[in-house]
Amino acid sequence: MSAARIVVVGTGYVGLTTGACLASLGHRVTCVDVDKVKVARLSAGQVDILEPGLAELVERGLGSGRLTFVVGARDAVRGAEGVFLCVPTPMGAGGSADLRAVEAVTAEIGDVLPSGCAVITKSTVPVGTAQRIRAMIGRDDVPVVSNPEFLRESTAVRDFLHPDRIVVGSDAPAAARWVGELYAGLAAPVVLADAASAELVKYAANCFLALKLSYVNSMAELCERLGADIDLVTEGMGYDRRIGRTFLRPGPGWGGSCLPKDTSALVKVAESVDYDFRMLTSAIGENIAQRDRVVAKIAGACGGTLAGARIGVLGLAFKAGTNDLRDSPALAVSSVLGALGAEITAYDPAVSGGIDGMTVVDDPYQVAKDADVVVVLTEWAEFRNLDWPAMAEAMEGDDVVDTRNLLDPRMILDAGLSWQGVGRPRAARRQVAVS
């Protein structure tokens, strides 16, 4: 297809990636935000989101003239062929998705949209949202399309340009096909569906991944109680093509901007049609229990009490490769540790200070100073390459709790420390005999 005139409303993680990538595919894209300072920074090529390749795409889009940033959606959409809604849909009261931002944009632009312009929901929205938007706009000449995003933080640009699939749903089939054609040139199957099915796909995918993560964390706990090794168990599982290797690593629990809100939202959607989604509610409960188990493991390394314990934390972001702290399990665990009386010093390569309840430092070796325990909570690869003998020398205690199974236990033992992971046998430091 020829280059389309696209407006992307919202320049957060999803919106900025969507706008920059669509511009790289040859479309003329205007990205809209209400934050004047943010628009000015983006217009100057200043990208504050930590996402590999995104800043470079924005710079190229600006240089080519195919990507622009403006304040205010109402004027921006007047010449558009398609408007992507990429605004936040956070968890609202009771766990349902909060659609106030979607509704506000819809109310702002509905009467000035050109005839035939497609309104496309990229944000994760519950089933029935397309129908709701269509009713709000109240125009038969403006189709509404669901085109959910499947972007993982730290690999979002790659996921957009090399997707597993492109899902497009609408009760106006011609509009769905047109949106699918926007991605021409990407080697991926296009799934055309009705609006409700497309809206449900994103929830179904994310909640399945949450189930898988909760399952492997449960298996890790079972491994600890039975004396098995979760790494060997998941290796054996992963060769089964029906299961695969992804999302089989235990950790301190799942978090981030998607899984917590999407699992809660789908539970609420199920309740609205009188279905008790017990499997999913159990996965949510297991995720909370996993964080409690991690806290108990750390407390055990401190002799059973956290009051007055000095804890060095490595990692605060919810996953490596991002500076996103939203629903971070690292922060959740640290918060409980602090509430139980621990003194926390933390380091993350992508996070600066300003977090209540802890001291955030800019040097990983500072977290070891006088620490009773050092805890790995985010899987940054650089933690493997720390000078662990120097860390050991700075510590008061001798325990490393590796909630990501990131470190080589032999390396920790060689430094004179003990190592314990999740679902794996504890590796105790070698005692030096005293003559």
Percent of residues, the chain, with pLDDT higher than 90: 96
Question: Given a cut of 80, is residue 46 above it in pLDDT?
Answer: yes
Spatial neighbors of 95 by CB under 8 A, at least 6 apart, are 264, 265, 267, 268
The verdict on whether residue 249 carries a ligand-binding annotation is yes
Confidence of residue 268 (pLDDT cuts 50, 70, 90): very high
| One fold for 5-193 and 194-434 | yes
Confidence of residue 63 (pLDDT cuts 50, 70, 90): very high
Question: Given a cut of 70, is residue 434 above it in pLDDT?
Answer: no
Confidence of residue 185 (pLDDT cuts 50, 70, 90): confident
Question: Given a cut of 80, is residue 171 above it in pLDDT?
Answer: yes
Mind listing the pLDDT tens digit for each residue in 134-157?
Answer: 999 999 999 999 999 999 999 999
- Is CATH 3.40.50.720 the classification given to domain 194-434? yes
Mind listing the pLDDT tens digit for each residue in 85-108?
Answer: 999 999 998 899 999 999 999 999
Spatial CA neighbour of 323 closest among 354, 301, 288, 356: 354
Spatial CA neighbour of 265 closest among 91, 403, 72, 59: 91
d(CA 220, CA 233): 9
Confidence of residue 430 (pLDDT cuts 50, 70, 90): low
The verdict on whether residue 173 carries a ligand-binding annotation is no
pTM over 0.75: yes
Contact between 125 and 150 (Cβ < 8 Å): no
The verdict on whether residue 369 carries a ligand-binding annotation is no
Confidence of residue 2 (pLDDT cuts 50, 70, 90): confident
The verdict on whether residue 38 carries a ligand-binding annotation is yes
Distances (CA, A) of 406 to 52, 123, 328, 379, 412: 22, 33, 17, 6, 11
The verdict on whether residue 326 carries a ligand-binding annotation is yes
The mean pLDDT of 130-137, rounded to a whole number, is 97
The encoded tokens of residue 249 equal 């690593």
CATH architecture group of domain 5-193: 3-Layer(aba) Sandwich (3.40)
pLDDT mean across residues, the chain? 96
pLDDT for residue 230:
98
Phi and psi for 85 in degrees, rounded to 5? -95, 110
Question: Is residue 117 annotated as a catalytic residue, yes or no?
Answer: no
pLDDT for residue 433:
40
Question: Given a cut of 50, is residue 432 above it in pLDDT?
Answer: no
The verdict on whether residue 90 carries a ligand-binding annotation is no
Q: Which amino acid is at 279?
A: M
H or E element at residue 146:
strand 144-146
The verdict on whether residue 84 carries a ligand-binding annotation is no
List the catalytic residue out of 86, 223, 258, 302: 258
Spatial CA neighbour of 27 closest among 175, 176, 185: 185
The encoded tokens of residue 52 equal 């590999």
Mind listing the pLDDT tens digit for each residue in 336-381?
Answer: 999 999 999 999 999 988 899 999 999 999 999 999 999 999 999 9
pLDDT for residue 353:
81
pLDDT for residue 93:
83
Q: Which amino acid is at 313?
A: V
Q: Report the Cα–Cα distance between both ends of the chain, in Å, rounded.
A: 82
The verdict on whether residue 251 carries a ligand-binding annotation is yes
Contact between 399 and 313 (Cβ < 8 Å): no
Mind listing the pLDDT tens digit for each residue in 404-422?
Answer: 999 999 999 999 999 999 9
Contact between 45 and 58 (Cβ < 8 Å): yes
Q: Name the residue ranges covered by the structural domains of the chain.
A: 5-193, 194-434
Distances (CA, A) of 41 to 33, 34, 36, 49: 12, 13, 9, 12
